[in-house]
Chain A
Amino acid sequence: MFHILLALADKERHGYHIMREVDERTNGNVKLGPGTLYGSIKRMMADGLIEELEERPAPDLDDERRRYYRLTDFGYRVASAEAQRLEQMVRSARAKKLLPRTKAG
């Protein structure tokens, strides 16, 4: 779910774009199938994390059957909170020397 939130953090995307973005960002380690992706989208929409755009793309620019999704304000806050939680965990792991230290700046 966080992968999808992250994919939609910078701009609205349709299903295939979300799938590609997750695939590229995780170097192919996370591959979302159609059932997983749209099942997650359904639940995230029900939870108010994402919403479907009412406008459809112009037929000459993209397939007008595509549905685009974007983060809601609530979804943005949830994604941000989760990112902070993960950052905190990484910091703790680094303090315990489980990760190499990054250069300052």
Chain B
Amino acid sequence: MNKTLTREGKIFLSLYSILLLIYPREFRRQYGSQMVLLLLDCERDASNRRALMRLWLRTLMDFVRTAPHEHLQNMRKENQFMNKLRTDLVAIGACLTLIIGALLLLNYGRSHQVSSILLFGHVLDALVFTGVIGNLIAFLLVRLTTLRPLRVVLWTFLIVSVASALASVAIASRVDPNFDAAKVVIGYAVSFLFWYGLHWLWAQKLKPSETS
């Protein structure tokens, strides 16, 4: 093991260090120095010139086989990441569109006193509020934990809806004597069903692509 390297051994080692540049950067950064060290040990271990030649040939064959393989693995990983990112962006975009749509509709109804819109005012209010809070919490929990997404959505929207409805009823009934608590509760119930239903549909849509 403590043998000194021949001149050819040093040249091949330098050549191998250059060949390592063909491996993906991340792989090279993590294991490049270890691979050179391994080859150095093997060269020191080679008993004669013939053994050294066999080692070089084997190392080159190994390089030809594994460098493309590592790139393929990398590409597969990047594709998975891009697909996940695209799915996330579509989901976030859809939620934002719905929330902004509901908000604009509510504002239009209030400013123009459109009774047909104001009839659903409580539902739209709840849709916007639970939409923002619930989706944000659910998104973070799904991304940062290993909990099952649909279960996270169910409990998040249930807790947010119930807490918001109770808070609204408690606060508004003190301020406004004509406050209709039933409408608020119905609004949050509809909002809960809407958001959970939407996430459930999204999960059904994702199922085939996840299993393939």
Q: Which residues on A are within 8 Å of B, measured CB to CB?
A: 15-16, 19, 31, 33-39, 41-43, 63, 65-67
Contacts and interface: CB of A to CB of B under 8 A. Distances in A.
A33 B31 contact: no
A43 to B, nearest CB: 8
**Interface class of chain A by DSSP:** helix
Contacts of B39: 34
Contacts, number: 58
* A-B CB proximity, top 7 nearest: A33-B62, A35-B66, A34-B35, A38-B31, A16-B41, A35-B62, A34-B38
Contacts of A43: 73
Contacts of A38: 27, 31, 34-35, 38
A42 B58 contact: no
A66 B31 CA distance: 11
Contact of A66 (B23, B37, B66): B37
A33 B33 contact: no
Interface string B25-36: 001001101111
5 contacts: A15-B35, A33-B58, A33-B65, A34-B38, A35-B65
B98 to A, nearest CB: 38
Interface residues of B, number: 24
A36 B62 contact: yes
Given A19-B42, A33-B63, A36-B66, 19 more contacts: A16-B37, A33-B61, A33-B62, A33-B65, A33-B66, A34-B34, A34-B35, A35-B23, A35-B35, A35-B65, A35-B66, A35-B67, A35-B70, A36-B65, A41-B31, A42-B27, A42-B30, A65-B37, A66-B37
Contacts of B61: 33
A33 B8 CA distance: 19
Most A-side CB within 10 Å, residue of B23, B30, B33, B34: B34
Contacts of A15: 34-35, 37-38
Interface of B: 23, 27, 30-31, 33-39, 41-42, 58-59, 61-63, 65-67, 69-70, 73
Contacts of B41: 16
B63 A39 contact: no
Given A33-B62, A35-B65, A39-B70, A65 B33 contact: yes
Given A16-B42, A34-B59, A39-B69, A63 B35 contact: no
B136 to A, nearest CB: 31
Most B-side CB within 10 Å, residue of A38, A42, A66: A38
Most B-side CB within 10 Å, residue of A34, A37, A38, A43: A34
A67 B59 CA distance: 20
Given A16-B42, A39-B70, A67 B34 contact: yes
Nearest to B30: A42
B44 to A, nearest CB: 10
Nearest to B26: A42
A31 B38 contact: no
